[in-house]
Chain A
Amino acid sequence: MKQFILFSITLLLVLGLSCGNKEGNVIRIGLIIPITGDVKTFGESVRNSVILAVSEANAKGGVNGKLIKIISADDKNDPTEAANAGSKLINQDKVKFVIGSVASKSSIPLSEICQESKVVMITPTSTNPKVTVRDDGTRKDYVFRACFIDPFQGTVAAKFAVEYLKAKRAAVLYDKSNDYSTGLADFFKDNFTKNGGVISIFESYGKDDVDFSALLTKVRADKPDILFLPDYYTKVGLITKQARALGITAKFLGGDGWDSPEMTKIAGDAINGGYFTNHYSPQDPRPEVQEWVSKYQAKYGQKPDALGTLGYDATNLLIEAMRAAGTEKPEAVRDALVKMSNFPTVSGNITFDAFGNPVKSAVILEYQNGEQRYVTQVQP
């Protein structure tokens, strides 16, 4: 009996090792995104596009003669879950590359883990500066992103409010527990005041709040031109609905967290006439964009949102860097990313600045009759 057990264990080991050898011709990329929870449409969009980008690359024979395999994990839009998923993918699945996460609050802890383990991380969509930079201002040199950052997004929104909407007075409501929301609120505030506007109300709420009537009554009494709401669609939907019910007439303005097919389901008519900054618009006439939109639509039956587009761009950036480096050593791939110049992606040509942030343009979109309409493009 003992011998039999010994034999089975050896057999298992041998089988396990031979499986391991087969994996040698595969490059594993970890994908960490929220597939469930309050921003699940973000995670779904990114996953769809990453799968699309990888299957395109694999159809052409992969990269450096090896096929790419995605190992994905759900972070539920929770910073702790994101950190756990990162440790698991790096330590157990031995991935050397990570795409993720979506929300800045999850990407910040994830970036610490990737940096420590010298794993190349590209976040498709996290716009808070702290994802690639530590609190003391030093660079996390293994971390990159495929999107613009909040100082730029805040500047664009403030400029648009002053110049296009002729706003003089703005109220800001933000989620104090969310790095994305607080960052964007601060940058909007600074730039709006710099451009001659007045921030009359700057108030926060908690992440589990659903009743905003006290804050909104305050906003109503103040009669601002703009109500700036730098948060995700689940919260913005509730706030805009309650604001219109209270009779607030201010124009709504927000950031890329508004981009979700669920937005109009939650907010209903209240969101119509609201403007937000975004990374791309499917109505952009550039051929790269139109080719991408039709490709995505053919596979998934709907137009890609900005988050999906950035997921596609991030994957292609990583694949291109591996190709340029000619190897899958994380250091070499990192250096190839740093050297990348004007690499064409759907959301614009990418060159990284000294902090791993691409320099590229933003678009302004408006919700009208439950649809997104392209308003204008703003250059950096």
Chain B
Amino acid sequence: MSNFLQQVINGLQLGSVYALIALGYTLVYGIIRLINFAHGDVFMVGAYLGFYAILRFHLPFPLALLFAMLGAALLGIIIEKLAYKPLRNAPKIACLITALGVSLFLENFSSLKFVFGPNYLAYPRPFPVVNFNVGNVTISNIQIIVFVVAIVLMVLLQLFVSKTKTGMAMRAVSFDKSTAQLMGINIDYIISITFGIGSALAGAGGVLYGIAYPQINPFMGIMPGLKAFVAAVLGGIGIIPGAMLGAGIMGMVEVLTSAYISSAMRDAIAFLVLLIVLLVKPAGLLGKSSIEKV
């Protein structure tokens, strides 16, 4: 029993990391209907910014987290201005391919010697690891921090989108871009804000990931990015609590498959779950299927 509980905690940790990335995916998709494949790489850049903040500038952990979030937000806004904005009225597929291009560019540019370098780096731990033993179940302070930060960011994001004026503008843009513009909403500004917030979340995810699994490299964003994307789709892409739910399920399915079936089957079963959910509920678990107006 205690082993099962331990596995559930392992699943929660993995799910929380996926959730932080999935939130950004889902936010950007929800507002401008773009699957931003470069998101996993913004996550990687966030991890590196945190690395330098802790190791070079000796910032305390909360400041390092903030530094990484700001840096990632800036990067997200720049990417949007340079790569996506010129294509705003182009077909969807052009944006998608551009996103893939941006992703490859970030990975390989970061691998250059004068940027981050191609090597695996050991991530510094800004505070000592403390393990709490409850019966036979071990919980570390890192697991708690990852979990709490993920929940807090999700709640803040949900409040921001549903309660603030900017949030309302974001929803309006999501609903109908041209009508929103007619109502006096500055679309460029709203989209920049969306990218900024989404990327800041990815940056935070990168730092937490680096602390939880202390090793980083320029290609570290690919797999978590992909898994988080699947999690966002599973929960219903565009819906903020859906990203959290989907990520939790992904993390749990992966861990429990490794634990009780076979580690070799892990990814196969995780994707099988996605397939089944999409067959039953094509818009994802929390998604409302909407009829496209013709």
User: Residues on A close to B: CB < 8 A?
Assistant: 36-38, 40, 76, 176, 203-206, 208, 210-211, 213-215, 217-218, 220-221, 234, 237-238, 241, 245-247, 262, 265-266
Complex CA distance for A38 and B121, rounded to whole angstroms = 9
Task: Given A210-B215, A237-B215, A246-B138, answer yes or no on A217-B120 (Cβ-Cβ < 8 Å).
Answer: no
- Structural contact, A241 and B263, CB atoms closer than 8 A: no
Task: Please tell me which stretch of B2-10, B29-37, B149-157, B280-288 contacts chain A, meaning at least 4 of its Cβ atoms lie within 8 angstroms of it.
Answer: B2-10
Task: Given A76-B118, A221-B3, answer yes or no on A213-B262 (Cβ-Cβ < 8 Å).
Answer: no
**Inside 8 A of A176's CB, which chain B residues have their CB?**
264
- Structural contact, B120 and A205, CB atoms closer than 8 A: no
**Inside 8 A of A238's CB, which chain B residues have their CB?**
213-215
> How far does the Cβ of A233 sit from chain B's closest Cβ, in whole Å?
9
Q: Is B217 an interface residue (CB 8 A)?
A: yes
Q: Considering residues B111, B138, B220, B262, which has the most beta carbons from chain A within 10 angstroms of its beta carbon? A: B138
> How far does the Cβ of B219 sit from chain A's closest Cβ, in whole Å?
8
- Structural contact, A213 and B131, CB atoms closer than 8 A: no
- Structural contact, B214 and A217, CB atoms closer than 8 A: no
Task: Given A36-B118, A37-B119, A208-B222, answer yes or no on A245-B138 (Cβ-Cβ < 8 Å).
Answer: yes
Q: Can you list 7 A-B pairs, Cβ within 8 angstroms, ordered by A?
A: A37-B120, A203-B262, A204-B264, A213-B14, A214-B11, A238-B214, A246-B138
Q: Is B255 an interface residue (CB 8 A)?
A: yes
Identify the closest chain B residue to A267 (Cβ): B122
**Inside 8 A of B10's CB, which chain A residues have their CB?**
211, 213-214, 217
Q: Is B272 an interface residue (CB 8 A)?
A: no
- Structural contact, A215 and B258, CB atoms closer than 8 A: yes
- Structural contact, A213 and B255, CB atoms closer than 8 A: yes
- Structural contact, A234 and B215, CB atoms closer than 8 A: yes
> How far does the Cβ of A37 sit from chain B's closest Cβ, in whole Å?
6
How many A-B residue pairs lie within 8 Å, measured between CB atoms? 82
Interface bin, chain B: 35 or more
**Inside 8 A of B222's CB, which chain A residues have their CB?**
208
- Structural contact, A214 and B213, CB atoms closer than 8 A: no
Identify the closest chain A residue to B140 (Cβ): A245
Identify the closest chain A residue to B254 (Cβ): A214
User: Residues on B close to A: CB < 8 A?
Assistant: 3, 6-7, 10-11, 13-14, 111, 117-120, 122, 129, 131, 133, 138, 140, 212-215, 217, 220, 222-223, 254-256, 258-259, 262-264, 267
Selected from A37, A210, A247, the residue in CB contact (under 8 A) with B138 is: A247
Complex CA distance for A333 and B10, rounded to whole angstroms = 56
Identify the closest chain B residue to A216 (Cβ): B10
Complex CA distance for A206 and B267, rounded to whole angstroms = 10
Task: Given A208-B223, A245-B131, A266-B214, answer yes or no on A214-B7 (Cβ-Cβ < 8 Å).
Answer: yes
- Structural contact, A217 and B118, CB atoms closer than 8 A: no
Complex CA distance for A203 and B262, rounded to whole angstroms = 7
Identify the closest chain A residue to B222 (Cβ): A208
- Structural contact, B217 and A38, CB atoms closer than 8 A: yes
Identify the closest chain A residue to B267 (Cβ): A206
- Structural contact, B122 and A214, CB atoms closer than 8 A: no
**Inside 8 A of B14's CB, which chain A residues have their CB?**
211, 213
**Inside 8 A of A241's CB, which chain B residues have their CB?**
214
Complex CA distance for A67 and B118, rounded to whole angstroms = 33
